[in-house]
Amino acid sequence: MTTNEIPNVAPVQSAPADPSDVAAIARARGVLVSLEITTWSARRLDKRVTKEATRREGADDDAGRFNKHLLGGKVESHSAVIAAAGAARVAHYRETLPWADEGARLLPIGNYFEYAKIVRDERAKFAAAVETFLQEYPNLQADAARRLGAMYDPSDYPHVSDVAKRFTFRVHFSPVPAASDIRVDLPPEVTAHIERSVTARVENAVHGAVTEGWNRLAESVARIRDRLTEIAGMPEDGPAGRLHASIFAGAVETAETLKRLNVLGDPALDAMADRIVSELSGLDPKAIRKDPAAMSETAKRADDILSAMAGFYGEGGAS
């Protein structure tokens, strides 16, 4: 499995001279990071079965494709690798902010060490899952002969060393682009236009990232308000009427994460995150669930927080 190391020292950035220069702030306080994970699907097109199926059904040759699972179906060790890859991607998205369409995301320097720790942990889990699967691979192939019956073809199976190469986990860092980086042999007015375009793109991306942060806060609080409103009047001992501690913990965790992701150093975002931590942490869901007045008061508290956020989050946020 191919990996690459995450530096133990955060990138050093200088503070922008003009605090109103959004692009400069992004370059000074953030880097772009992309997470690349590949896995072996353990699937292959079976041309023979595809041809037989289309002929049997009287369909055109290209009407469908039969992709067989080379392991004969779901196996625990392979599923664990896929789950580990998914968990790493979720963590990567949670600890970063959206950037552009190329796959890179914005990592504020204030969250670098937490991000690096989390990604190292997720990579270790992924590597362990891959190692377990590779150790089982010969036996899984042997078992696949039984599970696949006439569809089994030993030539479908790569050597274990080749399978190992299909699993990769890489993290790539790059600086936030700067208009001054443009070095092209074009007329000055064209170069100036390109530089303005780069700056505008960076500013739009930063504003989108900030909006995403506010949306995350709003959505986490809205889930509390909506859940409390939903279960009001329901029997508390039924599954549909339960109130779990995770709904409060999720909002607090989101607030704490977004303080680290506050790339522009927005005091309003920090203040709102602090308010959420102060007002929604340490709540006892069992006590709240048993007390209609406490449920109503907590729902109102969440609604008041959302009202205070109005105008900060975008169309994708809570309502």
The pLDDT tens digits for 88-126 are 999 999 999 998 766 899 999 999 999 999 999 999 999
H helices then E strands: how many in the chain? 10, 7
Which uninterrupted H or E stretch holds 45? Answer: strand 43-45
Q: Are 221 and 248 in contact (CB under 8 A)?
A: no
**What's this model's pTM, rounded to 2 decimal places?**
0.83
Edge to edge, the sheet with strand 97-98 lists: 2-3, 168-175, 30-38, 105-108, 97-98
The tens digit of pLDDT for each residue in 297-316 reads: 999 999 999 999 987 876 54
Exposure string over 266-281, b if 16+ CB within 10 A, otherwise e = eeebeebbebbbebbe
pLDDT interval class at 60 (50, 70, 90): confident
Regarding predicted confidence, which is higher, 293 or 102? Answer: 293
> For residue 128, how many other CB atoms are within 10 A of its CB?
13
With tokens 């008061």, the residue in question is 297
Q: Which residues contact 190 (CB under 8 A, 6 or more apart)?
A: none
**End-to-end alpha-carbon separation of the chain, Å?**
45
Residues whose CB falls within 8 Å of the CB of residue 153, separated by 6 or more in sequence, listed in order: none
Q: What is the Cα–Cα distance from 263 to 268, expressed in whole angstroms?
A: 13
Q: Residue 315 burial by CB count (10 A; 0-12/13-18/19+): exposed, middle or buried?
A: exposed
Other Cβ atoms closer than 10 A to 69: 17
For strands 168-175 and 30-38, give the pairing.
Answer: antiparallel
Residue 155 DSSP symbol? G
Which pLDDT does position 305 carry in this prediction? 95
Q: Could you say which DSSP state residue 16 is in?
A: P
pLDDT at 317 exceeding the cut of 60? no
> How many whole angstroms separate alpha carbon 239 and alpha carbon 75?
31
Distance (Å, whole) CA 264 – CA 271: 14
Residue 214: the pLDDT is: 93
- Say what the pLDDT of residue 17 is: 56
- Least confident range from 120-129, 244-253, 256-265, 308-317: namely 308-317
Percent with pLDDT over 70 in the chain: 87
pLDDT at 29 over 80: yes
